[in-house]
Structure 1
């Protein structure tokens, strides 16, 4: 069983659909904890580390083989949770693929709290691969307001429009899993990456094998 830790319920049908398409038979259990993102935005991700660890421990006790954290803001503290089961942040495979695409990486996010963790993750993956990168970040103004208002189409349209204005980049990273539908709306010639598909692929491999090396190969290496 793979447990997915979400901070928004919108992710549940997205990952169920990806599972049905790419990993039929994989047992998923969704845990939605919206308060984790609210607290992390207000007080920093470290403020929720204890609760995240407790959620991971509970997943392990209920038989999870792995946990996939779909929130980029708390991904680092989730991976650091030592509670008896491996944890993968959904954006790590995307970051690995971005590093492979070229040294000029543009990161777009709808939440400011996501920008620094995503940039740090890309730099970490670049160091692991022995490559240099130049990461620049941008907040998509007004996008999160659309998301909060339940205007999903307006949200992804703003993200796609922002991606289409990016220049001087080898790859564009959509920092939040909720931004993924915008990937299909962009017209830019620059490759645009989102996290749900490669993240679930890597987590599924980790669930099957328990081997991080296999998960990393699936995730973009």
Structure 2
């Protein structure tokens, strides 16, 4: 079984590969495609344009010809998959993460780093929210600048510090989501709450859709 991953950053290749190794699925092979230029265009434009959506869908369609399922790991570009017609299952990492997170938490804190992902992440979780559940979606200051500068360890520390401060201020939070796959390394630095990341959630979703479409 081949799962293709559409990334906007090279660093996410290792993140998804490590998550697959932890799941111990020898029958699954990952194929990676990086489209950093499309995210850069979205940042310059302040969001997705019709041209970026078309280009993203074209790359997804190409990957569908090479794999059994496609995971879009970029939360900004993931929006482009909505409304597209594809020949194989296409999984938005943030959607798989939202589904899993909201099954287990009553008060969820969702953290982002890239400003372009904030609105789509908020909408994604809000659509799935049940009446009794509470949701906060926040962009961590400075983390995206550090990530783009290649200061990955500092970025993860910034995310963890922000999360720990928020948890200390509001002990009713019972679930923490790191919404972007590039944030996953911060999970090991956060204690006192269940931390969910997208790579494993999206891989589990892809496996389920391939076997039970």
CA distance in 2, matches of 1:132, 1:64: 39
Query: Which consecutive unaligned segments of at least 5 residues does structure 2 have?
Result: none
Aligned with 1:64: secondary structure? Answer: coil
**1:47-73: CA deviations, max 9, x gaps?**
421011111111123x32111000111
8 Å CA contact 2:4, 2:71 repeated in 1? yes
8 Å CA contact 1:112, 1:139 repeated in 2? yes
Q: Closer, same or farther in 2 for the Cα pair 1:154/1:176, shift >3 Å?
A: same
Q: How does 1:90-109 map to 2 (within 5 A)?
A: 90-109=93-112
Query: Which consecutive unaligned segments of at least 5 residues does structure 1 have?
Result: 212-221
Look up the match of 2:152. 152
8 Å CA contact 2:7, 2:73 repeated in 1? yes
8 Å CA contact 2:110, 2:178 repeated in 1? yes
Structure 1 stretches (4+) deviating beyond 4 angstroms? none
- TM-score calculated relative to the size of structure 2: 0.88
CA distance in 2, matches of 1:9, 1:157: 20
Q: Closer, same or farther in 2 for the Cα pair 1:181/1:150, shift >3 Å?
A: same
Look up the match of 2:185. 181
The alpha carbon displacement at 1:46 in A equals 4.2
Of 51-60 and 157-166, more deviation after overlay is shown by 51-60
Look up the match of 1:57. 61
Aligned with 1:193: secondary structure? Answer: strand
CA distance in 1, matches of 2:78, 2:109: 19
1:171 to 175, 182, 201: 175
